[in-house]
Structures are given as structure tokens and as C-alpha cells.
A and B are shown apart, each in its own frame.
Chain A
Amino acid sequence: MKTAVIVFPGSNCDRDAHDALLKVTGKAPAMVWHKDGTIPEGTDLVMVPGGFSYGDYLRCGAMAGNSPVISQLKDHAARGGYVLGVCNGFQILCETGLLPGALMRNASLHFVCRPQALTVETANTAFTSAYQGRSDVVIPIAHHDGNYFADSATLDRIEGEGHVAFRYAPGQNPNGASRDIAGILSDNGRILGMMPHPERAIGASEGGDDGLGVFESLLSAA
């Protein structure tokens, strides 16, 4: 699998994304600088990493969503390429319109970093197939704006079409997200945005290893 990681000014999970992709695919991803970088031809997966692009001084992800590299990202998505947006990356994907909805400030108004119990809603996707037979996982979160919101019609549609990939475990919603949504898929199932950080849960650290499944699923899909 050929992968790339977009790096915005203020991205700070780009190295973690790099390391996770290297660990699972055995090949280092291309690191693509937002200003003048190029997503290499033949890339299967583009990861939009977490962090604070442009400081999140404007609405989270709004600046990055208009960055020069985004047109290449959209082209990649239009070709049916895989895209994984984590945390700030999820926010950016919503800002670009590649995913529906928006991420608002956490209901508590506080930044929250904790090991988060999740429910894998479906193992029938390119991002979650490795979780077959295993619906409860713990993946760390770390965000200030993870409160997923969309209007009811959109939420009904996403749910109806099986495009909710992850939910916060019952009673453990950390940010007030609508219907406990932690991660959603695009209509074609090839774009996943999620607030939890699978790249921080690839083994041998406090984050555990429950995030590996996301990358392993992609490896077998691509």
C-alpha cells in the first residue's frame, strides 16, 4: 500500500501518522507539505493528521481546508482513493465538504485527553474489517472540538446507510457529539474521519494497540 501524509503548518500528529503507516505497511509514507507538496501518483491512502493547523485560530480546519494541497486531496478522493482524517484531520475533511457535518467545541468547553471506549459500529468497511468479531475498543482521544454535529436528516441518512464507523461507548460520550458519533465514512466508504487517534494506539505505549485495526484493515483493502 502506498501512502502519504499531508503536513499543514501546525500539524503535530504527522510524525505519529508516519510511524503508524511505516509500522503497518512496512513503507514510509510520502510527507506532503501543504504549500508546494505533491501527493505522489499511485497513492492509495492519504492521511490528514491531527494537530492545530494554522493554530486553529479560526474555526478548526477552516484555513487548512482552503490550503493549496486540498485540490489534490479532492482529486485523490474523486478517483476513489482512501482518505483517513484523524482529529484535526477529521475537522479539515468536514471543512472541505468531503465529509458531512461539523465538529463543534466540546460540550464541557474543555480540551479532553483520555483513553476512550468506542463501539465499532460496522466491521464491514475498508477501515474496520480487522475489528471483525470485536466491537469494543479503547483508543485515545485528545481534542477541544470533537462535538460532531449534523442536522437530523443527515444523521438519519448516515446511520441508515451504515456510515457511522465508530461511536463513543454508551454513557461515555466525551464531547456531546450527536448520537455518540466518533467517526463517519463518506458515501463511497473510502473516506473516514474520526476524532480518536488510532495512530497513538499501535502498541508499546500508554495508548495501547487497539488502533492498529484501522491500518490493518486498510492494508488488506488497498
Chain B
Amino acid sequence: MTDTTAILAHLQAVQDEAAGLEHGIKQDEWGRLVGRLERRPNLVELGIYSVMWSEHCSYKSSRRHLSKFPTKGPRVIQGPGENAGVIDIDDGQAAIFKMESHNHPSYIEPYQGAATGVGGILRDVFTMGARPIALVNALRFGSPDHPKTRSLVAGVVAGIGGYGNCVGVPTVAGETQFDEGYNGNILVNAMAVGLADQDKIFYARGATPGNPIFYVGSKTGRDGIHGATMASAEFSEGDEEKRPTVQVGDPFTEKLLIEACLELMATDAIQAIQDMGAAGLTSSSVEMAASGGENGEGIGVMMDLDKVPQREEGMTAYEIMLSESQERMLMVLYPDKIDIAKAVFDKYDLSAEVIGETTDTGRLVLTQFGETVCDIPVAPLAEDAPNYDRPWNEPPKRAPFDISKYPEPEDYGDVLLKLMSCPDMASKRWVWEQYDRHVMGDTMDSSQSGGDAAIVRIHGTNKALAICSDCNPHYVAADPYEGGKAVVAEAYRNLSAVGAEPIAITDNLNFGNPEKPNTMGYIVKAIEGMAEACRDLCFPVVSGNVSLYNETDGVAIPPTPVVGGVGLIKDLSKTATLKGAQPGDTLIVIGQTNGALGASLYARTVLGLKGDALGAPPPVDLAEEVRIGGFIRSLIQSGLVNAVHDVSEGGIACAAAEMALASGCGVTLVPDREPGDQRAEPGLFGEDQGRYLIAASEEQRREWESKGFMPATLGKFGGDSVVLETGWGVEGATFTVPLATLRAAHEGWLPAYMGAVD
């Protein structure tokens, strides 16, 4: 039996500043809270304030800097502020996408942490009326030598696959990197892309008073109720047992929820909709109320928590409001459509209840057991959340990298093998073979080909989306401004390299503790660098997520602002990938090679350098990126290339080796410099930005020449080896690596590491 009197007394007890602190409400925030409320909050109200004013929900440390991002563009239908960004992909269709982190839960419980990360990002997309059509994951783990890394990789990959495979959305692209900087905090960033008709997009905003609030999906349980300090809030006196705070995913229910929501969205029943993500029923109801009204003036919400479908007995209003149980949605329906909605959810055997209604009071009013347990104005929760201008220090500038301090390698073939088999560059087949990449039948190109961006057809059309995710945290650590530019520029290149028009990005900013001015400096400068690149490349940010406090024992992760890029391919017959090179094709580089080895893979992996010794990263010339990106796209449009690959980590040598592996055709690289001149590493392994490799046939090259393009040729495809010629006729200056040897090294590292050689 539930003792409702005792529960109510507990919930309605007026709280003090100490309780506020336990909830993470700092002293000045407590003053602001009491001032706006004109009284002290009870327990339920305090819990609601604490989550709404948390970093996660309020972006209080990053908000003023995020506003520097350009968020508008000719194809942007919805920028940041809704569940996901929406872009126009012609013909009345829209792509809806977002990336989000699930870093902390994935470190604690890798399978469920990663799985629910996928589930959450899918909901952000189908909440808006989109059928999810692609998933992407950007993963960063600690050093392979760290004792936890192997089990974290295994758990995260299994969790992503377990969820994504079951819901039937293909996982088409991603990145997996390793660095000791992530030993204590791994990064699991998941991106979902969906497809909708522009006249069938649903928003959290726009609910008007007097309409029913409809709860659908899984029942609410005690999972995910926020954390460690909360034991005293459990209503079993003296019971200090803490529930695990990681939620448990149920991809089967998610699949049903997708189908049911899309089925209901095909009718005109829904006025506003919001998924229950972080802070569950609290944030979903508050956000819908705050953005409600015909002109966004805000409305009120009244909910009877006894009507919320519950998985466990004796749950309190506090627990119900803060639960992060997965696979739940909140909708505002039109009053005469309740029966239609109930019938749809009944078909899929999902819980669906009217739990309240929208009001014109501007207040969030909650009742449990017939009594009011919360009555607070909505506006302060959303609009008055703290917005800090955290102090920050200018990140130190690193000296340029000087290769002359280091000996020249004796065997360039060994260097190539070492780079191509190092943890960051080695094939991630072990990862992506655990993901269903083909369900839905529209995957044209995926991780399977190791290309720059996945290509996913728009169902039933000859159009496609190109999708990629990128971040080189080593550049950002070396110089957050240039590194931030490079992150965005690489996404731009990856989309251009497959022939897509880059349209917009979603960002996932992973950093350490923003209360430390040094860390905050990296956050500020990286955002400013990214923002400049977004502006110059006409590549706006339409959605995103910030994950701060990725720190353990005072050590922050490397600054890791990940972006997910989406581009449009208007005609699927006009694409390129890295795998089309034919014997006899010429290898051509487009873009300027200066030999920048600062913060490069070569410096890290071959020279074994760390930190400041890595030097400054390659600078990014955004005007050149635009010019060259456009040129590459026009070459692909005109069918004047057999293969295209963006040059990134490992420089030209690794990019050419990847093209050779993908096509099964060897390649010979000749030196791109004067006889007797300098050393070969900068040209082969330098990571100058704004470059692409191209394989073109003789016939294609004649076409180029007839149009006046006389590009630098780097070598020829043919044979069954990668041959590096590092000098002009110099004895011993030709290094040959058979493709089979290269492939074995490239493919071998990860399965050997995971102990899973088939």
C-alpha cells in the first residue's frame, strides 16, 4: 500500500538553499529562483528547476557563444531550437537531422549508454514527422593500452548495433578514434537523419490552451532519475540505495513508436509534439508550454500525474517528473482527435493516455493523489535560466612544427604500413560489420567502401543525401580557432568529394569543465573558428548538442567539437567515391601542398610526439575551400573523374593508399617537388587542408586540358602495390608495399586488438 499522505508531505515540503545545492542549484541561482517564484520551492518544484537549469537543458555556459553560429541559409527551414534541424532538399521534401552525445552513460554502462543514445537521437528526428533513414556515430575511446578500452569498444558497438539494427534504420557512416585523452571519458556521439514532406513537419511549438496532453510509449519507471545526490529524495526513509542512473533501451518499443507516430502524423490530430529525452516529462512539458501559443507567447500546462502510465508502484511526482525512461512522447492533440490517436496506439499495443491539458495560465501545475504538488510559472524555467559569461583564457599559441629536428625515415614503405595500421587509420570493419547498413534498401555507399561520406538515396527518387561526421581533435587542441575551422571544412570536403552540395551541419561540442578558464578558452575559440567556417562556406548549423564536464580527476578530454554534415545529390548518376580508380588512371592532386606536418598523424604516430611538441595545425583557407570544393563538384557533375578522395590524416600517401585499397588497383606516387630538393615526408604525409585526390583516365584528362585545367599529376594507378618514389632516380629511393600486405595491416589491427579474428 502506498502511503499517500506521507508522500505528499515529502513532496510538498518547502526546500532550503542547502537542498538547492544538493540539486546542483548554486547560491546565486537559488537567489534568482526564489526571487522569481516569490517563495521557496517545494521538492517537486526544486527538482524541476534543477533539471531545467542544468547545463544539459539550459546550455548556460555555452548559450552566448553558440549564438555566434550562423543558423540561416537558403535551404534552412528550421535551425536550432527545435528537436532537430530541417533543411529543404527540393520537391517539397525535407531532411531533418541532429547529433547528440551520450558520453557519460556510455562510460558507465557502454551497451545501454550507447543504445539509448541512438534511441534518443532517433526520437528527436521522428518527433518532427520524419522517417529516420540513416544513423551515423562518432566514437572516441581511450588508448588501446588502457585496461577499460577493449570492453568499452565492445559494449558501445554492440549497443549501437543492438538498437539501430532492431529499429531498422541503417547505420551508414561514422568514425572511431583512440587517444589516451579519452581514457576517463569516452565520447559516443550519435546522429540521425530523417526524411519528411515539408508540409508534414511537426514542432514542439504552437500548442494552444484547452487541448488534451497525450502521453504515449513506454511506461514511466524509476530509471534515469538524476543521479548521485538524489538518494535523500527516494521515498523510503533511511533507504540510501541509489538506482542506477543509466536508462535501459527498448528498441522494439521504439520501432513501434516510430510506426505509430508516423501513422498518427498522417492524420491531422497533433498540434504539437515533443519527445521525452533528458529530464523526461519535465523538459518536454515545459518546452511545449514555453513555446506554446499562436505567437509563441507561452501557455500553461496542467497534468494529473496519477494518469501517467507507470511501471512501478508508489512512484512520487518527483520521480515521475524526473524519470528518463526511454521511448516516450508527449503530444498536444486537437480535442476531437483523441479517439483516432488512441486507436493508432492500440494497434501497436503502446500505452497512450490523456494526462492533462494545456491552459492559458502560463503555469506548470501538477497534481498527484488529488493534491497540487507543483504550481510554478513556466517562463522562468525556460527563459530565465542562467546564461553565464564564463571567464576564459586565450589558448596558448604553439610554435610551428619543424621537421628538420627529426630524422628522415629509412623506409617509407614501413612508415606507410605503420600509418595505415595505426588505431586511428586502421580499418573499422570490425565495428561497421556489426551495424545493419542496408535495411531500407537505399544505401548507395556506406562505411563499407571507406569513403568520405555515405550516400543514401531519397526513397523512390533519383536524389540522395550525402552524410558524414568529422572532427580532428588534435588540430583543435593545437589551435582551437584553426582546428574549429578545419572540422567544418573537412565535412564540407567530404560532402563535395562525393559530388554533393554541402547544405548544413549539426554539431556536437564535447569539452571539459567550462568553469575552468583554460577549458572555456578552447570552447570559445573553437566555436568562433567553426562559426567563421560555417559563414564562409555557407554551411550553417541547424541543430546541435553541447556536452561539457567531460573530465576525470581534473583531466579534461581533448577538445572535440564533432560535426555531422549533410549534403544533397540531385542526380544519383553524378556521384563519385574513392573506389573507382582504374589501371592506367592518373593520380591528380587538387589544392596546394605546403607540407604541413604540425599536429599530423605522422608526427603523432611515427615520431611519437605529444602535446606542444606536435606544433600548430595546418591553416585553413576558407576561400580556397569554397573555390576548390566547387571545382571538384563540377568535375564530378561533368563525369570527368573515376574516383575522388579528400586528403586528411596521413596526407597524400595515406589517401592514395586508401584509394588503391578501395579499388584493388595499385598506385605509384612520384615526388611532387624539385630534384635534389628537401625531404619527402612533408609532401607524402603533410596534412595541408583544401586538397583532394582524383583518379582520371587519359580521356578524362584530355577533356580537362581542353578546358584549360593543367593540374599537378602525382602518379599513376596500376599494378598491385603502392609504390612511393621519394627521389629523382636516387638509389634506394623507391619503396614498394604490396596491396595484400597493406590490406592485411590495415584490416588486421582492430580484429586482432578485439581478439576477434574470424
Q: With an 8 A cutoff between CB atoms, is B758 at the interface?
A: yes
Known contacts A9-B349, A12-B167, A110-B756; is-contact A142 B255 (Cβ 8 Å): no
Query: Which residues of chain B have C-beta atoms less than 8 A from A35's C-beta?
Result: 347
B24 to chain A, nearest CB (A): 36
Q: Can you give 9 A-B contacts (C-beta < 8 A)? A: A15-B440, A51-B168, A52-B252, A108-B756, A112-B433, A113-B436, A113-B437, A204-B444, A205-B438
Q: With an 8 A cutoff between CB atoms, is A97 at the interface?
A: no
* Residues 432-457 of B at the A interface (beta carbon under 8 Å): 432-446, 448-449, 457
Known contacts A55-B166, A113-B437, A113-B438; is-contact A206 B444 (Cβ 8 Å): yes
B438 close to A206 (CB less than 8 A): yes
Known contacts A110-B756, A113-B433; is-contact A142 B252 (Cβ 8 Å): no
Query: Which residues of chain A have C-beta atoms less than 8 A from B167's C-beta?
Result: 12
Q: With an 8 A cutoff between CB atoms, is A180 at the interface?
A: no
B441 close to A199 (CB less than 8 A): yes
B146-161 contact mask (Cβ, 8 Å, vs A): 1 or 0: 0000000000001001
Most B Cβ at <10 Å: residue of A114, A206, A207: A206
A55 close to B251 (CB less than 8 A): yes
Interface residues of B (CB under 8 A from A): 158, 161-162, 165-168, 250-253, 255-256, 347-349, 432-446, 448-449, 457, 756, 758
| Complex Cα gap A117–B132 (Å) | 30
Q: Can you list the 5 inter-chain pairs with the closest CB atoms, starting with the nearest? A: A12-B168, A55-B252, A52-B166, A142-B436, A16-B441
- A113's nearest neighbour on chain B, judged by CB, is B436
B441 close to A113 (CB less than 8 A): no
| Complex Cα gap A113–B447 (Å) | 11
| Complex Cα gap A114–B162 (Å) | 16
B161 close to A57 (CB less than 8 A): no
Query: Which residues of chain A have C-beta atoms less than 8 A from B756's C-beta?
Result: 108, 110
| Complex Cα gap A144–B436 (Å) | 10
B348 close to A142 (CB less than 8 A): no
Q: With an 8 A cutoff between CB atoms, is A56 at the interface?
A: yes
B438 close to A12 (CB less than 8 A): no
Query: Which residues of chain B have C-beta atoms less than 8 A from A197's C-beta?
Result: 438
Query: Which residues of chain B have C-beta atoms less than 8 A from A113's C-beta?
Result: 165, 432-438
- A19's nearest neighbour on chain B, judged by CB, is B441
A9 CB contact (under 8 Å) in B348, B432, B433, B446:
B348
Query: Which residues of chain A have C-beta atoms less than 8 A from B348's C-beta?
Result: 9
| Complex Cα gap A58–B434 (Å) | 20
Known contacts A112-B434, A113-B433, A206-B448; is-contact A55 B168 (Cβ 8 Å): no
- B258's nearest neighbour on chain A, judged by CB, is A12
Known contacts A55-B166, A108-B758; is-contact A16 B440 (Cβ 8 Å): yes
B252 CB contact (under 8 Å) in A10, A16, A33, A200:
A10
A163 to chain B, nearest CB (A): 27
B446 close to A206 (CB less than 8 A): yes
A52 close to B441 (CB less than 8 A): no
- B436's nearest neighbour on chain A, judged by CB, is A142
Query: Which residues of chain B have C-beta atoms less than 8 A from A51's C-beta?
Result: 168
Q: With an 8 A cutoff between CB atoms, is A13 at the interface?
A: yes
Q: With an 8 A cutoff between CB atoms, is A54 at the interface?
A: yes
A56 CB contact (under 8 Å) in B166, B250, B347:
B166
Query: Which residues of chain A have C-beta atoms less than 8 A from B440's C-beta?
Result: 15-16
B348 to chain A, nearest CB (A): 7
Q: With an 8 A cutoff between CB atoms, is A140 at the interface?
A: yes
Query: Which residues of chain B have C-beta atoms less than 8 A from A56's C-beta?
Result: 166, 252
B165 close to A206 (CB less than 8 A): no
B438 close to A140 (CB less than 8 A): yes
Query: Which residues of chain B have C-beta atoms less than 8 A from A20's C-beta?
Result: 441
Q: With an 8 A cutoff between CB atoms, is A149 at the interface?
A: no
A151 to chain B, nearest CB (A): 26
- A11's nearest neighbour on chain B, judged by CB, is B168
A191-213 contact mask (Cβ, 8 Å, vs B): 1 or 0: 00000010110101111000000
Query: Which residues of chain B have C-beta atoms less than 8 A from A204's C-beta?
Result: 444, 457
| Complex Cα gap A91–B440 (Å) | 20
| Complex Cα gap A60–B187 (Å) | 32
Apart from A55-B166, A113-B436, A206-B445, 13 more pairs, CB < 8 Å: A9-B255, A12-B255, A12-B439, A15-B440, A56-B252, A57-B252, A111-B158, A111-B162, A113-B437, A140-B438, A144-B165, A206-B437, A207-B441
| Complex Cα gap A176–B261 (Å) | 39
Known contacts A51-B168, A206-B445; is-contact A111 B250 (Cβ 8 Å): no
A contacts with B, residue count (CB < 8 A): 35
Query: Which residues of chain B have C-beta atoms less than 8 A from A206's C-beta?
Result: 437-438, 443-446, 448-449
Query: Which residues of chain A have C-beta atoms less than 8 A from B443's C-beta?
Result: 205-207
| Complex Cα gap A207–B446 (Å) | 11
- A197's nearest neighbour on chain B, judged by CB, is B438
A139 to chain B, nearest CB (A): 10
B535 to chain A, nearest CB (A): 35
Query: Which residues of chain A have C-beta atoms less than 8 A from B349's C-beta?
Result: 9
Query: Which residues of chain B have C-beta atoms less than 8 A from A12's C-beta?
Result: 166-168, 255, 439
A10-34 contact mask (Cβ, 8 Å, vs B): 1 or 0: 1011011001100000000000010
A205 close to B442 (CB less than 8 A): yes
| Complex Cα gap A140–B347 (Å) | 32
Most A Cβ at <10 Å: residue of B158, B439, B444: B439
Query: Which residues of chain A have C-beta atoms less than 8 A from B253's C-beta?
Result: 55
| Complex Cα gap A140–B349 (Å) | 32
B619 to chain A, nearest CB (A): 36
- B169's nearest neighbour on chain A, judged by CB, is A12
A111 CB contact (under 8 Å) in B165, B255, B446:
B165
| Complex Cα gap A108–B438 (Å) | 21
B441 close to A15 (CB less than 8 A): yes
B441 close to A200 (CB less than 8 A): yes
- B756's nearest neighbour on chain A, judged by CB, is A108
A205 CB contact (under 8 Å) in B165, B256, B433, B457:
B457
- B445's nearest neighbour on chain A, judged by CB, is A206
| Complex Cα gap A207–B724 (Å) | 34
Query: Which residues of chain A have C-beta atoms less than 8 A from B251's C-beta?
Result: 52, 55
A181 to chain B, nearest CB (A): 18
B433 CB contact (under 8 Å) in A10, A50, A114:
A114
A149 to chain B, nearest CB (A): 19
Query: Which residues of chain A have C-beta atoms less than 8 A from B433's C-beta?
Result: 110, 112-114
Query: Which residues of chain A have C-beta atoms less than 8 A from B255's C-beta?
Result: 9-10, 12, 52, 55
- B157's nearest neighbour on chain A, judged by CB, is A110
Query: Which residues of chain A have C-beta atoms less than 8 A from B432's C-beta?
Result: 113
| Complex Cα gap A155–B347 (Å) | 41
B151 to chain A, nearest CB (A): 14
Query: Which residues of chain A have C-beta atoms less than 8 A from B434's C-beta?
Result: 110-113
A200 CB contact (under 8 Å) in B347, B435, B438, B449:
B438
Query: Which residues of chain A have C-beta atoms less than 8 A from B158's C-beta?
Result: 110-111
B606 to chain A, nearest CB (A): 32
| Complex Cα gap A20–B437 (Å) | 18
Query: Which residues of chain B have C-beta atoms less than 8 A from A205's C-beta?
Result: 438, 441-444, 457
Query: Which residues of chain B have C-beta atoms less than 8 A from A144's C-beta?
Result: 165
B163 to chain A, nearest CB (A): 10
| Complex Cα gap A111–B440 (Å) | 18
Query: Which residues of chain B have C-beta atoms less than 8 A from A108's C-beta?
Result: 756, 758
- A202's nearest neighbour on chain B, judged by CB, is B441
- A7's nearest neighbour on chain B, judged by CB, is B259
Query: Which residues of chain B have C-beta atoms less than 8 A from A16's C-beta?
Result: 439-441
| Complex Cα gap A13–B442 (Å) | 12
| Complex Cα gap A20–B440 (Å) | 11
Query: Which residues of chain B have C-beta atoms less than 8 A from A52's C-beta?
Result: 165-166, 168, 251-252, 255
A1 to chain B, nearest CB (A): 20
Known contacts A52-B255, A55-B252; is-contact A142 B168 (Cβ 8 Å): no
* Residues 110-161 of A at the B interface (beta carbon under 8 Å): 110-115, 140, 142, 144
Known contacts A114-B433, A205-B444; is-contact A9 B165 (Cβ 8 Å): no
| Complex Cα gap A194–B252 (Å) | 23
B435 to chain A, nearest CB (A): 6
A142 close to B758 (CB less than 8 A): no
A58 to chain B, nearest CB (A): 11
